[in-house]
Amino acid sequence: MSLLNVNDVSYSYDGIVNVLSDVSFTVEEGRIVGLVGPNGSGKSTLIRNIFDLVRLQSGSIRIGSHEHALPEAKQLGMYLSSNDYLPEFLTAREYISMMGKLFDLDVDHDEVIGLFRKFSMEGRYDHLIEDYSHGMRKKTQLVSALVMRRPLTIIDETLNGIDLEALHLAEKEFRRVRDAGRSILLCTHDFAVLERLADRTLFLDLGHVVYDEPTKDLVEEHGSLAAMVFDYLETSQR
């Protein structure tokens, strides 16, 4: 079943130039989908449309069986943005508790403490976020997404700035998310991560979907995802 259904979405900030043009794709249950594209290709704008952070101008978006702007749809998804913003005046425990209330969940704090330990943040759960490093904030965002267990998690460059050990662990946890039937849309410039993880890869350029194919097919055809982008940039009339 498709968990995210984006259908013919176009978007313009200024009413003149389309940043997204008739973008359509789906994310099925239990899948990790990579979202790639050059700077300014519209990836974040697409995510903002999905999460109703900008008003949809044309087309339609459904999360589960709900129109994307409805509260029922918003309960199904979690968005990790590219920045490391977290409420600095809270401890991680308070922040995660607050997120739990938002999604109507009883947080298992022992589970979170276990994840903090795995992500090399042992003993920091009750410290103010104000005192966290950039990487710790990113890891706290990831941990919060893992424990909120939303059917759909959209990750916009959140993996930037975390160390290799944490990346390795995050990849393992993402596979577990997939095995549990939940889905991730992973927007990143780290193609190696997508080659290891993504079932499909969606490649956007200038707001158009260029490829939406199984990652292994793209890698077989081009040699790597990076080569796919280079091939495209060399042959397309942009």
- C-beta of 182 vs 200, nearer to ligand ATP: 200
141 lies in the binding site for ligand ATP (CB under 6 A): no
Structure tokens of 125? 């759960």
Nearest to 27 by CA among 56, 60, 1: 1
Binding-site residue total for ligand ATP (CB under 6 A)? Answer: 10
> E strands along the chain, which residues?
2-11, 20-28, 32-36, 58-63, 66-67, 77-80, 152-156, 183-187, 200-205, 208-214
Structure tokens of 215? 């990652």
45 lies in the binding site for ligand ATP (CB under 6 A): yes
Least distance in angstroms from the C-beta of 160 to ligand ATP: 11
166-205 residues in contact with ligand ATP (CB under 6 A) are none
Least distance in angstroms from the C-beta of 80 to ligand ATP: 14
How many other C-beta atoms can be found within 10 angstroms of the C-beta atom of residue 150? 21
Q: List the x/- string, 14-43, binding to ligand ATP by CB under 6 A.
A: -----x-----------------x-xxxxx
Find tokens 């158009």 and name the residue: 208
2 lies in the binding site for ligand ATP (CB under 6 A): no
The bridge status of strand 183-187 relative to strand 32-36 is: parallel
Nearest to 217 by CA among 202, 236, 238: 202
> Of these, 13, 85, 89, 230, which contacts ligand ATP (CB under 6 A)?
13
- C-beta of 18 vs 91, nearer to ligand ATP: 18
- C-beta of 96 vs 198, nearer to ligand ATP: 198
- C-beta of 40 vs 223, nearer to ligand ATP: 40
Write the DSSP assignment of 27-91 as a string of letters. EETT-EEEEE-STTSSHHHHHHHHTTSS---EEEEEETTEETTSHHHHHHEEEE-SS----TTSB
Least distance in angstroms from the C-beta of 229 to ligand ATP: 12
- C-beta of 75 vs 81, nearer to ligand ATP: 81
> Of these, 5, 10, 44, 75, which contacts ligand ATP (CB under 6 A)?
44
- C-beta of 33 vs 121, nearer to ligand ATP: 33
Residues at the site binding ligand ATP, with contacts judged by CB under 6 A: 13, 19, 37, 39-45
